[in-house]
Structure 1
Amino acid sequence: MLQTPSGGAGHGAAAAGTGLMSIGAVLAVLREEFPEVTISKIRFLESEGLIEPQRTASGYRKFSTGDVERLGHVLRMQRDHYLPLRVIREHLAALERGEAVHLPALSRPGDGEAAPEQAADGPAPARIGRRQLLAAAGVGEADLAEWESYGLLVPVEDGVYDAEAVTVAGLIAELGRFGIEPRHLRVMKAAADREAGLVDQVVAPLRRHRNPQTRAHAEARTKELAGLAVKLHAALVQSALGVRLP
């Protein structure tokens, strides 16, 4: 039995009388356990054949409780074990056949790769090694090298990336299937860098403050501002295209 993310499938609006959920409602459920998951990530996993939600006559996705459980299981295997999508797909197929499947031991950035260090004022951010990033994103060394050449992915130190690099790599690969090449994405990276710079400019006085509590508040303020910036960016893109995402 797959573990359902905390909150259960009843969270959010379900299609009347069917128990099916919109992609927005599924996102709300999953974010209780996976705060960084996005609608794009869910669509990416669908495009990879890991879930098959139903579609309404107008083309909107509708997810069952089983779909939500399956999504949670996939995200958990990526987060906790850094498994590539091919292995996750095989694992799920084995479970559906009723076979006993054992996941590998919890991965760490070891195996010859640099491990994160404990910061003096708290835990270090989540990190992932280069080989783990390649496996989790399901891409080759040549792809990653090209993305790095355009500045789309930048290691925090030699051979080590922040955990968000997996999401970035997956989205770059997904856009590539539509013919959007890494060189086309430089404008997005430049815009993201400018937005990050604006947030840093606002938060910088808090980080330099003498009061430790004020400095600690800087991280929360950064997350809040980053969330608002991402929402504004998405809204502006939708407005410019004259579309609204489901």
Structure 2
Amino acid sequence: MLRELQQEFPELTVSKIRFLETEGLVLPQRRESGQRAFTDEDVERLRFVLRAQRDKFWPLKVIRSALDGMDLGITTDEPPEAGHAAAPAARPQGARLPTADQLRRRRSVRVTPAELREAVGIDVAAYTQLKAFGLIRVDSAGRHSADDLDIARECTALAEYGLEPRHLRLFRVAADREVGLAQQILEPVRRRRARGAEDADPEELETEIVARTLALHVALVRAGLGQAQ
């Protein structure tokens, strides 16, 4: 895979690919040995990122937004507004959500606290605050998930508006409650699947529930802001 990409990007190194993985831009599977296994989709995703950097000089934040749009089936040659996915408010015809396989690969990404701080660009004090208020959490090995990278980035962006981790904790509380509701739907499905029933794939169902709850959350906030005007 590296040699294939080096034909177009001679200066590409393993370290560069691992950095992009840490940033959540590519999420290869892991073999039992721990080695990364890149699919054709992963290679094309890497190629898109590298071309966007080389040919368009897009920063990682803009590339990430473009990839978010691609995951929804939307492509564009114009850079999306940084920090916003290139996706419409309503789910378009033919749009696709992240697949269960993509979610599994994303969950395999783990970074150390130091790697998270470096990737997000925060110091130890800011990191400690995020952790103290439960916004990010380490696993049993003391590492963070790819989702924690996203959480830390958004919290850092909101800090520019004066919102500190102590203010943002309510989002964690609300999210945990939403997770509880989702589990009420998912657990019976998982149990039936474990017994051999031909129910829906729990991970595909989880993807759909996440999309719907996010859409509901956005709609409720938008409605509330509209009523406040």
Write the distance in 1 (CA, Å) between the matches of 2:115 and 2:197: 36
Distance 1:152 1:224, change over 3 A: same
Report 1 or 2 for greater relative contact order, CA contacts < 8 Å, sequence distance ≥ 6.
Answer: 2
**Residues paired across the two proteins, number:** 145
Structure 1 residue 208: Cα displacement: 1.6
Structure 1 stretches of 5 or more lacking a match?
9-25, 37-63, 72-121
Q: TM-score, normalised by structure 2?
A: 0.54
Distance 1:208 1:183, change over 3 A: same
Q: Quick check: 1:231 aligned with 2:221?
A: no
Q: Quick check: 1:207 aligned with 2:186?
A: no
Structure 1 residue 151: Cα displacement: 0.6
Q: Deviations over 1:92-133 (max 9, x none)?
A: xxxxxxxxxxxxxxxxxxxxxxxxxxxxxx876322222211
Structure 2 stretches of 5 or more lacking a match?
1-7, 10-46, 53-62, 83-103
Q: Quick check: 1:151 aligned with 2:134?
A: yes
Structure 1 residue 236: Cα displacement: 0.4
Q: How is 1:88-167 mapped onto 2 (pairs within 5 angstroms)?
A: 125-167=108-150
RMSD: 3.4
Q: Quick check: 1:174 aligned with 2:165?
A: no
Could you tell me which residue of structure 1 aligns to residue 67 of structure 2? 30
Identical aligned pairs, as a percentage?
28
| Alpha carbons 1:208, 1:215 under 8 Å: kept | no
| Alpha carbons 1:150, 1:183 under 8 Å: kept | yes
Q: Deviations over 1:207-241 (max 9, x none)?
A: 12234575781111111101100110011001100
Counterpart amino acid of 1:176?
A
| Alpha carbons 2:66, 2:79 under 8 Å: kept | no
Could you tell me which residue of structure 2 aligns to residue 65 of structure 1? 77
SS in 1 for 2:144: strand
SS in 2 for 1:170: helix
| Alpha carbons 1:196, 1:226 under 8 Å: kept | no
Write the distance in 2 (CA, Å) between the matches of 1:234 and 1:215: 29
Write the distance in 2 (CA, Å) between the matches of 1:145 and 1:27: 25
Counterpart amino acid of 2:204?
A
The structure richer in helix per residue is 2
Write the distance in 2 (CA, Å) between the matches of 1:227 and 1:182: 25
